[in-house]
Structure 1
Amino acid sequence: MRRKWIVFSIAVLSLFGLSAGPAAASGRDFAPPGCFGERYGILFGQGVSVSCFPGTGYGYRVLAHCTSGSAFWFVAGLPVPYGFGPAVAECSGDLLVPARLVAYQVDEI
C-alpha cells in the first residue's frame, strides 16, 4: 500500500512539473534592444504590437509564434518603416479552441 502512495505522489508531482514547464518557457516576452513590445487580447486569440527606434535597415516587422490545441504556426506582421506606427501580428483561433501567442520575434528589413 505504501508503494502505491509513493507512485501516486510521484505521478501528481510530475503533472505539476509538466504544467509549470510551458508557463516558464513562454517567458520570452522581451523585444530586442531599441524595441518595445506589448501583448494584448483579441476575440478568441492574442496579439502583439512592437515599436522600434531607428536601426540600420529600412524598417522592421514582428513574427508571432502561435499555438491552438496541438497546432503551431507563425503569423508575420506587415513591414513598418522606422518612425511610423507599430508592427502588429495577431493569433486568431476559434470559439472552442482559442489561439495563444507563445512568443514573438522582431525582424529588421
Structure 2
Amino acid sequence: MFSLFGLTVVPAAAAGGDFAPPGCFGERYGTLFGQGVSVNCFPGEGYGYRVIAHCANGNAFWFVVGEFVPYGFGPAVAECSGALLVPARVVAYEVDEI
C-alpha cells in the first residue's frame, strides 16, 4: 500500500477473482461487445446459487447479478454488455449461495 498525492493504492487480491469457490467451476466466454461468466456448482448448503460478475469498460465499473439456479438445474450466468467502441469485460466474479 502506498500513497501518492493523497490517493491510496492497495494491490488487489488475486484470490476469488479468477477462480470459483470449492465445489464450483466457472468459465468465461465472449459475447457481442462483452464477456460473460457461467458457473456450475455441486450441491452444497442451501437451495442454490447465483453468480455476480464485476464488470468494467474504460473508467466504468458495475455489477451484474445472475438469476438464482437451484442445485442440479444448470449453470448460473451473468453477462457484461458494452458498446462498439467500449466493450465490457468480466474483471472478477463471485458465487452467492442461497
Instruction: Give the structure-2-normalised TM-score.
Output: 0.84
Across the two proteins, how many residue pairs are aligned to each other? 88
Unaligned 5+ segments in structure 2 are 1-10
- Native 8 Å contact 1:37 1:50 kept in 2: yes
Q: Which has the higher helix share?
A: 1
Give % identity: 81
Root-mean-square deviation (CA, aligned residues, Å) is 2.0
- Native 8 Å contact 2:33 2:81 kept in 1: yes
Larger RCO: 1 or 2 (CA < 8 Å, sep 6+): 2
**Bigger radius of gyration:** 1
Unaligned 5+ segments in structure 1 are 1-20
- Native 8 Å contact 1:26 1:102 kept in 2: no
Alignment-derived partner of residue 94 in structure 1: 83
Runs ≥4 in structure 1, deviation > 3 angstroms? 24-27
Structure 2 residue identity aligned to 1:28: G
Q: Which has the higher strand share?
A: 2
Structure 1 residue identity aligned to 2:42: F
Instruction: Give the structure-1-normalised TM-score.
Output: 0.75
